[in-house]
Amino acid sequence: MPEQIRWGILGTGGIAHSFVTDLLAEGLTVTAVGSRSRASADEFAAKHGIATAHPSYEALVADPEVDVVYIATPHTFHAENALLAIGAGKHVLVEKAFTINAAEAARIQEAAAAAGVAVLEAMWTRFLPHMVRIREIIAAGTLGDVRTVLADHDQDLPDDPEHRINNPDLGGGALLDLGIYPVSFAVDLFGVPERILAQATLTDTGVDRQTALIFEHAGGRQAVLHSALDTAGPVTASVIGTEARIDIERVWYAPTSFTVTSNTDEVLERFEQPVNSRGMQFQAFELERVIRAGETESPLLPVAESVAIMGVLDEVRAQIGVRYPGE
């Protein structure tokens, strides 16, 4: 492995631009980009100063100057694209939601294990400084017995039926784009839920417009979660224990501040650590650490947990009546 781990970017949409901007700002190495369109690849490479633009995903993953591939395509292509990169012996960072369903996620897990490459779901929130500190506070017992997670991710997004967020062919809906954040947060703190109750309202295109979730976890712990794609919510979160609570400010899943308050309203801690970017570099730091250590997954988000989270989302979709074409 070279001193600098070399990133290749598969897909040229908005999330890819954000990711590369953060990587380059932190001095990480991006050597190539691939798109199904030569023009799109060339434009992306020129904008970010990337040396090589490939007119196909196949050419990107075959590039010997690429060590790890970031999968930035819509949900329905994640498994196909990740398997392509794994088949070429590349490590992969796969945008969340990891795949469309748990079956696809398991195929990635199996292929990566067979190839001996590292895989990480790009749930970038897991790796942010405020989330690292929150886990430390909970582990220290500051909150007492942690009982409840409350979180919403409600945004007012485009209503064009052809837009990716509204298109079932591309895994559209609030759940996989927005709900994945509070779901992953609840699983991070409490583990996979033992019982799931889901209610949703669907759009005319057949994806979930808004989804409300109640999870029951081991020990009677609960998560109350909400996502919506056509209403702007507070986008805050709280972790509530028997001795204190953590209130995470807007936007809770991005770099932000939080306050720890006791049951007697005493402020126990105020966390503020500005991040001079969107914060997507932290997941890249972790995957590079994993690769350099000769490991194949991160303890902060093991591949099996990403598969399990997709299983949770499968159950939610079964309850709300959302099925994607081709499933």
Same domain, 166 and 263: yes
Domain range for residue 53?
A: 6-124+280-301
Percentage of residues in the chain having pLDDT higher than 90? 98
- Banded pLDDT at 87 (limits 50, 70, 90): very high
Stretch 272-285: mean pLDDT, rounded?
95
Same domain, 254 and 151: yes
Is residue 47 among the annotated active site residues? no
Kindly state the greatest CA–CA separation across the chain.
61
CATH number of the domain at 193, please.
3.30.360.10
Distances (CA, A) of 29 to 22, 58, 102, 135: 11, 20, 32, 30
Statement: residue 3 has pLDDT above 90: no
Answer yes or no: is 324 within a domain: no
Number of domains in the chain: 2
Statement: residue 169 has pLDDT above 80: yes
Closest CA to 279 of 252, 261, 306: 252
Find the catalytic residue in 90, 91, 96, 226.
96
pLDDT digits (tens, 9 = 90+) for 67-84: 999 999 999 999 999 999
Same domain, 95 and 138: no
As a whole number of angstroms, the distance between CA 86 and CA 98 comes to 15
pLDDT digits (tens, 9 = 90+) for 230-276: 999 999 999 999 999 999 999 999 999 999 999 999 999 999 999 98
Statement: residue 66 has pLDDT above 80: yes
Answer yes or no: is 199 within a domain: yes
- Banded pLDDT at 30 (limits 50, 70, 90): very high
Statement: residue 196 has pLDDT above 60: yes
Same domain, 240 and 141: yes
Please state the pTM of the whole predicted model.
0.97
